Amino acid sequence: MPPLRVVVPAGGIGAARFLTGLLPALAVTAPGSHVTVIGNTADDITMFGLRVSPDLDTVMYTLGGGIHPEQGWGRADETFVVKDELAAYGVQPQWFGLGDRDLATHVARTSMLGAGYPLSEVTATLGSRWLPANVGLLPMTDDRVETHVVVDDGPSTRAIHFQEWWVRHRAALPARRIVLLGVEQARPAPGVLDAIGEADVVLLAPSNPVVSLGPILSVPGLRDAVRAARAPVVGVSPIVAGRPVRGMADACLRAIGVPTTAAAVAGLFADILDGWLVDSSDEAAVEEVASLGVACRARPLLMSDVTATAAIASAALDLALAAGA
Amino acid sequence: MPPLRVVVPAGGIGAARFLTGLLPALAVTAPGSHVTVIGNTADDITMFGLRVSPDLDTVMYTLGGGIHPEQGWGRADETFVVKDELAAYGVQPQWFGLGDRDLATHVARTSMLGAGYPLSEVTATLGSRWLPANVGLLPMTDDRVETHVVVDDGPSTRAIHFQEWWVRHRAALPARRIVLLGVEQARPAPGVLDAIGEADVVLLAPSNPVVSLGPILSVPGLRDAVRAARAPVVGVSPIVAGRPVRGMADACLRAIGVPTTAAAVAGLFADILDGWLVDSSDEAAVEEVASLGVACRARPLLMSDVTATAAIASAALDLALAAGA
């Protein structure tokens, strides 16, 4: 097969793992292919004055072999000297566990942002240390978009940053609403719309549909570009047998009143999808998804190792090429 | 003796060491005394977007037992994970060796400054972790003052930040001129003039006369306040036998055309000094200093350990009380 230009809207851990399978799958079936990852930046947070981009970093570290293998986020061989020192100063918050290696990325990022470089250029610079030559990593936007979660506060409610809800409260506070601050004013980062327009295949990574893929597709113009793209668009369900493969997507889906099922999540993206992969255990969902006008196949979706993950990516590519034919 | 209010204009390593002797000396001769350190901030630099205050930190770490004992600056048990990571990203400059523990101080400082707190409040917050209850540490100013050094650049000259000259070039590039950027607009930090006005004793720490005590006394109003103070003012010579006790003060003195002698340095401060301590080896300078109208005594000035340093501080206090009588 000739080389493909593949675009992958991507959240953090799940997407990063998917990419570790996509790259070998492409190397086998379409050598010379190029992957543009469009990363979610709505989880980004300024912590201790440092700009943290968790999803971009997870993709970068994972593809560059720097990721903490068991955790799936943060750096391998991490130390926590700075975190302990900040705690000794009483600096708040203390629930955000920044490792020293990871922190260096944020220091470098913050320093470059402070010098006036947009996030997309900063990400390219940081990525040059980690990313394979055939992978580009673009933030969805250079503008500030932040996911906030509206939670109960006595008889009233209050909005907290997504990271506070996710990391500090482990998504255990019921989310009444999820708000994307700043998204209306955001513009796609340079290169994003071009990559989508020129893509041969668009693959939605198995990411949180509400707080990862949701924000990416909410950047004005981005969802329209995907819908209008000549490339087939195929997604991999992040929900298997009624539960998120990883993370707490169920808590997010509940907040927007969507059932935690592979078919319901397909419904969120039906307007842009040509195909959708569900897990073998969700075989029953295939027909329901097809009724949305989305070609659907059931395959084992557990990304247990690179081989299994490459098979999933391969199945997604097959479905895309079938749907695009 | 009743408790004294002592004010100490202070640079970094030499001053910090002097203070480790002054505190026990006061505990013996004037229990209940309080020391206000007026720290030099003209060495401060923004490095990787982090605001670094080397002299304030050296005082803080030294008095709080966190200093690297052999080095005299930076933290004990230091690690360099972040520095190595920044180098892996190719972040410049790489000549400024920030340790992880030390860096946490700068992250905390930068974060508070970014939130709008002035350096004096930030310093009080950071200092509360390190400083004894009877020591206050005030930056000379909350405003930005930066020492730059004019060096040769082929047939022309250029100005570089003091830290670049001092740390990167080890003061080996001949300094044509030393410039205090911003000093004309600087105001003494809150509390500085009051502390000087209320002081019972002012002791000039044995610090670099050009780039430590010089900038402090150049903050508009500060030198006048010391001159007008009812307290006797006594200095401890940082020059012993024609050489700086520590550091490269000779290179700085050369830049301003002043000989590296205990008497010449006394001459720099003659307008505010009541007394000056020189080293026993500089006995011959006593008369020369006295001719400036400054009471002078020769004592062993090598701060080899806390006992020796306490004796020096004690001699400075004695001279101050004699001069003030």
Supply the pLDDT for residue B92: 87
**To probe the interface with B, which of A45, A52, A102, A107 has the most B CB atoms within 10 Å?**
A107
What would the pLDDT profile of B135-175 be if each residue is shown by its tens digit?
999 999 999 999 999 999 889 999 999 999 988 988 888 89
Across A63-67, A206-210, B239-243, least confident range = B239-243
The Cα–Cα gap between B201 and B217 comes to 16
Q: How many CA atoms lie within 13 A of B294 on its CB side?
A: 30
> Which has more confidence, B291 or B325?
B291
**How far from chain centre, in Å, is Cα A83?**
26
Q: What tokens does A110 get?
A: 């913050």
| pLDDT surpasses 80 at A214 | yes
Backbone angles phi, psi at B309, to 5 degrees: -70, -35
According to CATH, the topology of domain B5-44+185-324 is Rossmann fold (3.40.50)
User: Which residue is it, tokens 């299994």?
Assistant: A308
Confidence at residue A171, expressed as pLDDT on a 0 to 100 scale: 87
Does A168 have pLDDT greater than 80? yes
Which positions in chain B have a beta carbon within 8 angstroms of at least one beta carbon in chain A? 48-50, 79, 81-86, 88-91, 100-101, 103-105, 107-108, 110-111, 114, 125-126, 129
Residue of A89, A111, A125 with shortest CB distance to B108: A89
Chain A residues closer than 8 Å to B89 by CB? 104-105, 108, 125-126, 129
pTM comes to: 0.93
Q: Kindly list the domain boundaries of chain A, sorted by start residue.
A: 5-142+185-324
Poorest-pLDDT segment among A152-161, A210-219, B191-200:
A152-161
Name beta bridge partners: B139: B39
| Per-residue model confidence as pLDDT tens digits over B16-68 | 999 999 999 999 999 999 999 999 999 999 999 999 999 999 999 999 999 99
Residue A52's CB is within 10 A of a number of other CB atoms, namely 21
pLDDT at B247: 80
Q: Give the minimum alpha-carbon distance from B264 to chain A in angstroms, rounded to a whole number.
A: 42
By a Cβ cutoff of 8 Å, what residues of chain A touch chain B? Answer: 48-50, 79, 81-86, 88-91, 100-101, 103-105, 107-108, 110-111, 114, 125-126, 129
Please determine, for residue B325, whether its predicted confidence score (pLDDT) is greater than 90. Answer: no
- Taking the CB of residue A82, how many other CB atoms lie within 10 A of it? 29
Q: Distance (Å, rounded) from C-alpha B308 to C-alpha B255?
A: 32
* Cβ atoms of residues A78 and A102 within 8 Å: yes
Q: Which of B102, B119, B135 is nearest to B32 (CA)?
A: B135
Does residue B245 register a pLDDT over 90? no
The pLDDT score that the predictor gives to residue A1 is: 87
pLDDT digits (tens, 9 = 90+) for B246-298: 788 899 999 999 999 999 999 999 999 999 999 999 999 999 999 999 999 99
- Compare CB distances from B86 to A50, A84, A107 and report the shortest one's residue: A107
Let me know: does B208 contact B252? Beta carbons within 8 Å: yes
Predicted complex: ipTM over 0.85: yes
pLDDT tens digits, B216-237: 999 999 999 999 999 999 999 9
> What's the CA gap between B318 and B281, in Å, rounded?
20
Strands annotated E in B207-252: 233-236, 239-240, 243-244
Where b means 16+ CB within 10 Å and e means fewer, B65-98 reads: ebbbeeebbbbeebbbbbbebbeebebeeeebeb
A100: nearest CB among B81, B90, B108: B81
Q: Hey, are the CB atoms on B89 and A104 less than 8 Å from each other?
A: yes
Grade residue A114 by pLDDT with cuts at 50, 70 and 90: very high
Residues 6+ apart with CB under 8 A from B67: B16, B58, B61, B73, B74, B75, B76
C-beta of residue B147 within 8 angstroms of C-beta of residue B211: yes
At residue B94, does pLDDT exceed 90? no
Residue A56 has what pLDDT?
98
User: B29 — phi, psi (to 5°)?
Assistant: -90, -30
Residue A110 has pLDDT above 90, yes or no: yes
Residue A325 is predicted with a pLDDT of 64
B189 three-class SS: coil
What's the Cα-to-Cα distance from B112 to each of A38, A89, B106, B132, B143, rounded to whole Å? 33, 12, 10, 22, 15
CATH class of A5-142+185-324: alpha beta
pLDDT tens, residue by residue, A15-24: 999 999 999 9
What residues contact residue A68 under an 8 Å CB cut-off, 6+ apart? A61, A74, A75, A76, A78
